[in-house]
């Protein structure tokens, strides 16, 4: 990808011939007034975003001297990770204030929800120019747009006709971008581009003008979260914003320690059970002639792992959680022959006996119904005492607890559900990687 070089006139980086950066003060008065009015309009429609909207750094891209079609399609007012928003002078002049205001709300949401950090695709070497973008980048852009727009559609902002919504792809509202990302695989998608603020991949128009640094961006996000939580008390706040603010402001629990201690307690409960057995004679039979006394038996703990392998599960999270369960189970001395693993999406797959959880063959990627998986675990012989379920919780559950089994659910999405008869452990791997929802 070509990187910007210096304009011989000293007016900033030069991208394509005839394209240059301008300052806001170089625009006509009417254009400057429209920019200011658009930010005010956006802040009135979404007051909880006012701080973030005012933090945006405007970079004007002048393509008026280009011979032929403009090389960059900036109708969506794209952003980069430095909170710079790119304005095409012609679009700024022609578009009405509410449309520009919508795009400002939309683009600042990409930044607040850290979509560039969350990008699950393969990074392109050196970035990808518009018109020749990696399909992963396009799919992620549409997925993040769906995450944003279903919330905006529930609020007071009027969406343009071409704004991607989950319903356009027969998908439900309320999902995370990662869920839409998996569901959109193989779909025919519009080639939308909201800039490097969505996937971290540099664009040809990206500027080196000073923007908002990382620490300042985090402070802006926390201020937005505070305003969201205040607005929740008055009601009418879209669910995606509530979820994001609560996760950002809630204290992080040490999920590794919590998961480890819960599994250890479950195994200890089983190992501590003492029962009578007549399968071998008691050593005290000699003191009671004619009476057969039972001996005492202490069962060896048996553990099963049920893995949700539906399409909404993130491979990186699942791998990290599975490695942690494997370490805990091995450290507490559960016999390797007694560790069995079942993968489940809409159906349960054959149980695997593995010596190491890293050798598990993951099967699935369809829908989710862990009722099938728990039923398959219950049919294992000998029956497991403890079942560790790794899932995002977007599944139906049995109404009753499995008989004779303790169930620990390692939940990979705080919005997922866990039945009241199971022990819930929130596994928040993305928070450790500096990610937020």
Residue-wise pLDDT tens digits, 113-124: 999 999 988 765
Write out the two tokens for 394. 């977007």
What is the mean pLDDT of the segment spanning 370-395?
91
State the average pLDDT for the chain: 80
The pLDDT of residue 273 is above 60: no
Per the model's pLDDT, the better-predicted residue between 131 and 65 turns out to be: 65
| Whether pLDDT at 239 is above 70 | yes
Domain ranges of the chain: 5-249, 255-432
Residue 434: pLDDT band (50, 70, 90) is very low
Segment of 116-130, 147-161, 243-257 carrying the highest mean pLDDT: 147-161
Positive or negative torsion for Cα 238, 242, 245, 248: negative
CB 336 within 8 A of CB 365: no
CA dihedral of 112, 118, 119, 125, whole degrees rounded to 10: 100
Average pLDDT of the segment spanning 249-261? 65
Res 241 pLDDT > 80: yes
Residues 125 and 367: their CA atoms lie apart, in Å, by 33
Mean pLDDT for the stretch of residues 249-273: 64
Does the pLDDT value for residue 131 go beyond 60? no
At 102 the pLDDT is: 94
**Which of 254-258, 272-276, 329-333, 385-389 is predicted least confidently?**
272-276
Whole-number pLDDT of residue 365: 79
How confident is the model over 281-298, as pLDDT tens digits? 655 555 556 666 565 554
Q: Tell me the mean pLDDT in the region 129-141.
A: 78
Query: Domain 255-432 belongs to what topology?
Result: Rossmann fold (3.40.50)
Q: Which tokens is 419 given?
A: 């039945």
């Amino acid at each position: 990808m070509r990187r910007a070089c210096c304009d011989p006139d000293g007016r900033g980086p030069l991208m394509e011939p005839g394209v240059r950066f301008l300052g806001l003060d170089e625009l006509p008065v009417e254009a400057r007034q429209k920019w200011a009015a658009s930010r005010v309009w956006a802040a009135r429609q979404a007051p909880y975003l006012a701080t973030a909207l005012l933090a945006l750094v405007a970079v004007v891209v002048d393509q008026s001297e280009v011979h032929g079609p403009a090389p960059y399609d900036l109708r969506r007012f794209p952003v980069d990770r430095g909170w710079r928003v790119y304005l095409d002078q012609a679009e700024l002049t022609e578009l009405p204030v509410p449309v520009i205001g919508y795009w400002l709300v939309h683009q600042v949401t990409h930044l607040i929800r850290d979509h560039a950090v969350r990008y699950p695709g393969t990074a392109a070497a050196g970035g990808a120019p518009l018109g020749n973008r990696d399909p992963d980048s396009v799919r992620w852009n549409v997925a993040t747009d769906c995450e944003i727009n279903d919330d905006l559609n529930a609020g007071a902002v009027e969406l343009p006709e071409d704004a991607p919504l989950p319903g356009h792809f027969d998908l439900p509202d309320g999902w995370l971008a990662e869920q839409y990302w998996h569901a959109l695989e193989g779909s025919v998608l519009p080639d939308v581009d909201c800039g490097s603020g969505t996937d971290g991949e540099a664009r040809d128009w990206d500027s080196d003008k000073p923007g908002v640094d990382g620490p300042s961006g985090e402070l802006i996000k926390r201020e937005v979260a505070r305003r969201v939580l205040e607005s929740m008390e008055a009601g009418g706040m879209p669910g995606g914003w509530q979820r994001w603010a609560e996760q950002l402001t809630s204290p992080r629990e040490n999920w590794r320690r919590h998961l480890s201690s819960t599994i250890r307690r479950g195994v200890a409960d089983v190992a501590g059970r003492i029962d009578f057995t007549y399968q071998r004679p008691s050593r005290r039979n000699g003191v009671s002639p004619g009476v057969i006394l039972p001996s005492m038996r202490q069962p060896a703990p048996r553990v099963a792992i049920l893995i949700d392998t539906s399409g909404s599960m993130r491979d990186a999270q699942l791998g990290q959680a599975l490695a942690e369960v494997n370490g805990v189970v091995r450290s507490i001395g559960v016999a390797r022959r007694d560790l069995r693993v079942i993968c489940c999406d809409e159906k349960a797959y054959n149980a695997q006996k593995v010596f190491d959880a890293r050798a598990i063959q993951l099967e699935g990627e369809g829908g989710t119904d862990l009722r099938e998986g728990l039923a398959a675990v219950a049919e294992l012989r000998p029956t497991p005492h403890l079942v560790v379920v790794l899932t995002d919780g977007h599944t139906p559950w049995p109404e009753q607890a499995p008989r004779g089994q303790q169930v620990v659910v390692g939940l990979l999405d705080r919005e997922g559900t866990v039945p009241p008869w199971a022990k819930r452990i929130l596994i928040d791997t993305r928070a450790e990687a500096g990610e937020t929802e």
